[in-house]
Every structure is written in C-alpha cells, then in structure tokens.
C-alpha cells in the first residue's frame, strides 16, 4: 500500500508540474510575445541607428555621450526611487498611491536636474572634457520627461499590456533615431547623440500620456509614501550603489585612457546593451508581475523559474556566441574603417553578458519573495568583488579590464544563486543544469560556423551571412535532436499563441 501511495503521489506531483507549466504559459504567453516584440523593435531600431551614426560620428563623440549616459542613469535611479517596482508588485493601486509616486518622481527629477547642471563644470574637469559643461544640461532634460511617464509605464507593466508599450517604443525610437541621423549628416557630431536621448524621452512621455486614461493630480499622501518606501527603499540604495559600479568600466576607461579608446568601449557596450538587454528585460518584466502571484507557493514558483531559465538560455546563448564568433566579420563589413579596432571590445563585452538571464532571475526571486534587503546586501558583495577584479586587471591595460569584466560576471553568479537556494531551494547546480546545455550547443554551432568559414575562405561580405546561417541552422538542428527543454517550452508558447489567435479569429 505504501508503494501504491508513493506511485500515486508521484503521479500527482507530475500532474501538478504539468498544471503549473500550463498555467505559467497561459499567464505569460501573450505578455512574453508582445514584450519580446516590443523590445526587439525598440532595440533593433537602436542598433540600426547606432550603426548608421558610426558612419558620421567619430569614436571620441561616443566617449562624451558615455559620460552623459552614466550621469543620466544615476539621476534616473534616484528619480524612480524603486517606486515603480513597488507599484508593479502591488495587488491593487489606489489613485492616491499613483498620485503620490508621480509627485515624488516629479520633485526628484527637478531637484536632480538642478544638481546635475550645477555639477557639470566639476564633471567636465574630472573627465577632462570641457564640452560636458554644455552637453549635460541639455541631455539632463531627458530626466524630466522620464519622471512624467514613469507611473504610466508602470501601470502598463502591471497589466502586462506590452502591446501598447510597443505602440509607444517604436515611434519614439524611430523618430528620434531618424532625427539624430539627419543631424549627424549635417555635421552636429556629438550633439546628434544628445538630441537623440532627449527626443526619445520626450516622445515616449507624450505617447504614454496619449495611450493612458489616467491623469495625475499633484496630491501627496505620507501614509502611501511610507508603505511604498518600505519596499522601495532598499531597492533605491541598491541601485544608487549599482549605477557607478555598473558603469565603472566606462568611468575608469574614460578617465584613464584616450578618448578614442573610451569611444570604442562605449560603442561596444551600447551594442551589447541593445542586443542582450532586450531579451533579459522582456522576460523579467513579464515574469515579475506574473510570478508575484505565486510568491507564497515555493514549489510552483520554482518550477516556473526553471522553465524561464531554460527558455532564456535557449534564446540568449546562441545570440551571445554568434556575436562573439561573427564580430570581426561584422565590424569589417558593416562599419567604416576607423571602427575596425572595435572588434575585440565587442567580443569581450558581449561575452561578459552571457549570464545576464541568470543574474536577472536570481534578483527577480529576491524581489518576488519580498527580500529587497537581500537585493541591497548581495549587491554590496558583488560590487566589492567587481572592484577587486578591476584593480587587479588594470595592470594589463584596457584589454585586461575587459577580460576582468568577463571574469567578474561569472563570479557574480555565486552570491546571486546562493540567495535563490536559501529563499526558494533553487540551487546553483540546478541553475547550471537548466542553463548550460543551450550554451554548450551554441558553442558547438559557433565552432562549426567558424570551421566552415576557414574552410571555404570566402570574402567577408559572403562569409558573414554564410556563417550566420550555418550557425543558426546547426544550433536549431542540435536543439531539436537533443530535445532541448527550452525549445519545448518555446514551442508550447507558440502553440498557445496560435490557438489564442485562432479562437479570436473565430
């Protein structure tokens, strides 16, 4: 009878896992699809604009915009204050809560804009870039537009309405990018890049207000603020510390090395962010609100995250390895001659992002389990590790710094995964088991594409598409042959999308 009961329990467990997977797919299918499409369009336009601008803007201009971007990242973190995350995870948001967050964002934005304008001369002297005195006050206008639309954006994420977000992101990115290209062609140089940042923020704010029915009132409630800040306070501290550490490579390289070197690095980092962040952010932005409802059911929550990790790896790993393999050909074919030395920068910065999905999932788990304090303290540990690696790698020059960035990314997995084990029982080994198979298949496919390229000895113009197609075909074939878990889950999502579309058509 005991064995019979055990078999019955085992069947129930398997049935429960299938039910969990089905529920997860039903809840996140449309959200993931639209979020991926929205970010693919948004980032795709960004990549295209960046590549076109590279024909008209010298690397030194990208070094200037790197400093502006770091400053804006810092002030935007303070303006947000972690409050949009608090809104997203709340089961219900009253009008008073929304108004309170809007007022906080707006007041913080005005204060940070004034502070950044006052600090512009000191930053220009520190980075030895006098142009920053004029560039920063103009670029910082983007912060004001960000504050005006942060609550509207958070409400769409709460509702998992990523279709509407695409209606905002695409025209904003396209129009601002087109204007930036025209300005660059007219000889505006770095100002074209600055205007792109401001115009994109302004257009996004205007479109978010257009698609949203909610209109804020300038009303502030202390009780709502205290409840929100109880959660967002630790996130704010973590992100304030995270900005200089996340961008410390830009800061150090811009401060210590020639402007051309800094420009090459920031160009590579910008391409990496445009290519890789879209997948990570899309999956994270969908799964955070969706899985927050399972925060009290560890078994179902863990199963949901395991499916997410496997699917993320299936999509993410081939993209990273493909860029690493194809970067030399890509730079030679697509970019002008002055950018040829950007190839190793691009390869190493992309490789440093290989574990981004695992980092994002582990942080997501801490947030879903309401442990914002752990987000802060784990961030402190990782930042100490990053500083140590950077100090050691500086002796080998800029290439040593880039290799150190790759090493630090892998080391950061350890404290992240340790917390997931404690909170959810999702161990480091289980995460490796879920993630590594796709990476190994991508490496095998990349090796095959490289060997084929060397064997055929084609011109770069022909070798680039041939190697890309060969790698994609090899990866897909191996994934199908080995029955990859991420492939199965992805096909299930496509099946759900297809069935929903058929039902809607009927």
Q: Which residues contact 265 (CB under 8 A, 6 or more apart)?
A: 66, 249, 250, 253, 345, 349, 398, 402
327: nearest Cα among 310, 309, 349? 349
> How far, in Å, CA of 386 to CA of 404, rounded?
9
At 270 the pLDDT is: 78
Is the Cβ–Cβ distance between 33 and 497 less than 8 Å?
Answer: yes
Task: Tokens for 120, please give them.
Answer: 């512009």
Q: Which of 231, 260, 255, 233 is nearest to 244 (CA)?
A: 255
Confirm whether pTM is higher than 0.75: no
**Neighbouring residues of 448: CB distance < 8 A, sequence distance ≥ 6:** 470, 471, 474
Chunk the chain into consecutive blocks of 10 residues (it has 506) and report each block's average pLDDT, rounded to whole numbers: 49 53 50 56 65 76 81 82 69 74 86 90 86 89 88 74 73 86 86 88 90 80 73 70 76 80 82 72 62 64 79 85 89 82 88 86 78 79 87 88 89 86 83 89 91 84 89 88 73 54 49
pLDDT at position 497, please?
Answer: 46
In SS3 terms, 223-256 reads as HHHHHHHHHHHHHHHHHHHHHHHHCHHHHHHHHH
Q: What torsion do the CA atoms of 119, 120, 122, 126 make, to the nearest 10 degrees?
A: 130
DSSP string across 305-348: HHHHHHHHHHHHHHHHHHHHHHHHHHHHHHS-GGGGGGHHHHHH
Contact between residue 304 and residue 291 where contact means Cβ atoms under 8 Å apart: yes
Instruction: For residues 27 and 414, give the distance between their C-alpha atoms in angstroms, rounded to a whole number.
Output: 30
Q: CB within 8 A of 121, min separation 6: which ones? A: 133
- Give the span between the Cα atoms of 246 and 237, in whole angstroms: 14
Q: What pLDDT is stored for residue 504 in this prediction?
A: 47
Q: CB of 173 within 8 A of CB of 166?
A: no
Specify whether the CB–CB gap between 493 and 31 falls below 8 A. no
Residue 2: the pLDDT is 43
336 phi/psi in degrees, rounded to 5: -70, 165
Chain centroid to CA 41 = 14
Provide the CA 43 distance to its chain's centre, in angstroms.
10
Closest CA to 363 of 413, 434, 436, 403: 413
Query: Which pLDDT does position 281 carry in this prediction?
Result: 67
Structure tokens at 242: 């995270």
How far are the Cα atoms of 87, 104, 233, 290 from residue 227, in angstroms, in the given order? 11, 14, 10, 22
Instruction: Decide: 497 and 28 in contact? Cβ < 8 Å.
Output: no
Cα dist from 298 to 51, 222, 386, 444, whole Å: 45, 34, 31, 35
Burial of 222 (0-12, 13-18, 19+ CB in 10 A): exposed
- Could you give the maximum distance between any two Cα atoms of the chain, in Å? 83
Judged on CB neighbours under 10 Å (0-12, 13-18, 19+), 235 is: buried
pLDDT value for 6: 47
Q: Give the per-residue pLDDT at 442.
A: 92
CA distance 51 to 66: 16
What DSSP assignment string belongs to 370-434?
Answer: T-HHHHHHHHHHHHHHHHHHHHHHGGGHHHHHHHHHHHHHHHTHHHHHHHHHHHH---HHHHHHH
Sequence-separated (6 or more) residues with CB below 8 Å from residue 455 = none
309: left (phi over 0), alpha (psi -120 to 50) or beta: alpha
d(CA 399, CA 390): 12
The answer to whether 154 and 84 have CB atoms below 8 angstroms apart is: yes
Q: Which residues contact 155 (CB under 8 A, 6 or more apart)?
A: 87, 93, 98, 212, 214
């Amino acid at each position: 009878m005991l064995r019979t009961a055990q078999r019955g329990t085992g069947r129930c467990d398997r049935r429960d896992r299938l039910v969990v997977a089905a529920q997860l797919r039903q809840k996140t299918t449309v959200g993931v699809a639209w979020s991926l499409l929205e970010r693919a369009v948004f980032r795709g336009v960004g990549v295209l604009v960046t590549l076109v601008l590279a024909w008209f803007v010298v690397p030194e201009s990208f070094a200037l915009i790197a400093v502006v971007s770091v400053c804006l990242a810092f002030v935007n973190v303070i303006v947000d204050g972690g409050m949009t995350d608090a809104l997203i995870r709340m089961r219900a948001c009253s009008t008073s809560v929304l108004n309170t967050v809007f007022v906080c964002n707006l007041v913080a934005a005005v204060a940070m804009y004034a502070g950044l304008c006052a600090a512009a001369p000191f930053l220009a002297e520190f980075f030895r870039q006098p142009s920053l005195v004029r560039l920063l006050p103009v670029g910082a206008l983007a912060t004001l537009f960000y504050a005006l639309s942060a609550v509207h954006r958070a409400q769409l994420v709460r509702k998992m309405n990523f279709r509407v977000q695409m209606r905002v992101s695409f025209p904003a990115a396209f129009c601002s990018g087109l204007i930036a290209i025209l300005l660059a062609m007219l000889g505006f140089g770095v100002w074209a890049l600055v205007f792109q940042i401001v115009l994109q923020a302004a257009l996004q704010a205007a479109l978010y207000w257009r698609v949203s029915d909610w209109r804020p009132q300038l009303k502030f409630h202390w009780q709502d603020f205290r409840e929100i800040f109880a959660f967002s306070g630790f996130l704010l501290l973590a992100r304030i510390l995270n900005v200089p550490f996340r961008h410390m490579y830009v800061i150090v390289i811009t401060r210590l090395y020639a402007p051309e070197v800094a420009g090459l690095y920031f160009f590579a980092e910008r391409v990496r962010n445009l290519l890789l962040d879209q997948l990570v952010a899309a999956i994270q932005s969908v799964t955070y609100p969706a899985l927050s409802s399972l925060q009290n059911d560890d078994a179902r929550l863990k199963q949901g995250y395991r499916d997410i990790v496997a699917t993320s790896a299936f999509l993410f790993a081939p993209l990273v390895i493909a860029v690493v393999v194809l970067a030399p050909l890509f730079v030679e074919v697509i970019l002008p001659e002055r950018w040829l030395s950007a190839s190793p920068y691009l390869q190493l910065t992309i490789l440093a992002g290989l574990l981004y999905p695992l980092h994002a999932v582990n942080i997501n788990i801490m947030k879903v389990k309401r442990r914002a304090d752990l987000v802060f303290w784990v961030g402190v540990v990782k930042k100490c590790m990053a500083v140590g690696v950077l100090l050691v790698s500086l002796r080998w020059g800029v290439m040593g710094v880039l290799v150190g960035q790759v090493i630090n990314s892998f080391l950061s997995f350890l404290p992240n995964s340790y917390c997931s084990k404690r909170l959810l029982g999702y161990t480091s080994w289980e995460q490796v088991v879920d993630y590594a198979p796709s990476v190994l298949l991508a490496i095998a496919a990349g090796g095959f594409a490289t060997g084929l390229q060397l064997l055929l000895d084609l011109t770069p113009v022909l070798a680039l598409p041939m190697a890309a197609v060969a790698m994609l075909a090899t990866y897909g074939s191996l994934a199908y042959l080995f029955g990859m878990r991420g492939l199965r889950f992805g096909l299930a999502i496509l099946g759900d999308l297809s069935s929903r579309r058929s039902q809607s058509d009927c």
